[in-house]
């Protein structure tokens, strides 16, 4: 899960950057120097424009005790309105979590159960903070 928390923002930044920078075969582009603050503001602006986001994913986990990686598949969906986030594994097992406003639920075989543990809520909240690129909250953690 920690790898996902690290990789998700990087993938989102790369996707946003790719939209801005068109690839031109055989030419080089000079990228104007930006201060860290200007770059951060640009990222905040781009993340702020994202209202919804959804994707399917495949995750490989390499464990020392197994010769082959363990592969999981699933999907996630995010909606800024109502601070909603759904992260669900569909293969090989069905589980995940759902955030709806201030409430966090665990999904087990399609059944929604309220999460009472701080660790699970913190993980889901951290993912939501990265998806919204809330620098104020990120700087406080």
Task: Label residue 110 left, alpha or beta by phi (over 0 means left) and psi (-120 to 50 means alpha).
Answer: left
Q: Read off the tokens for 130.
A: 């990265």
pTM value is: 0.56
Q: How many CB atoms lie within 10 A of CB 127?
A: 21
Mean pLDDT computed over every residue of the chain: 74
Please, are residues 89 and 96 in contact by the beta-carbon 8 Å criterion? yes
Residue 140 burial (10 A CB sphere; 0-12, 13-18, 19+): exposed
Q: Which CATH number fits domain 2-18+37-140: 2.50.20.10, 3.40.720.10, 3.40.50.720, 3.20.20.80?
A: 2.50.20.10
Tens-digit pLDDT profile for residues 53-92: 899 999 999 999 989 999 999 998 988 887 788 888 888 8
């Amino acid at each position: 899960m920690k790898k996902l928390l690290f990789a998700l923002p990087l993938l989102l930044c790369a996707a946003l950057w790719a939209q801005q920078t068109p690839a031109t075969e055989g030419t080089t582009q000079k990228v104007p120097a930006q201060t860290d603050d200007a770059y951060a503001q640009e990222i905040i602006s781009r993340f702020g424009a994202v209202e919804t986001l959804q994707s399917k994913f495949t995750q490989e986990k390499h464990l020392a005790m197994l010769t082959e990686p363990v592969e999981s598949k699933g999907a996630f969906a995010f909606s800024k309105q109502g601070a909603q986030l759904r992260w669900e594994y569909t293969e090989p097992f069905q589980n995940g979590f759902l955030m709806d406003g201030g409430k966090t639920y665990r999904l087990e075989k399609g059944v929604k159960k309220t999460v009472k543990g701080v660790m699970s809520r913190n993980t889901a909240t951290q993912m939501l903070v990265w998806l919204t690129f809330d620098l104020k909250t990120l700087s406080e953690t």
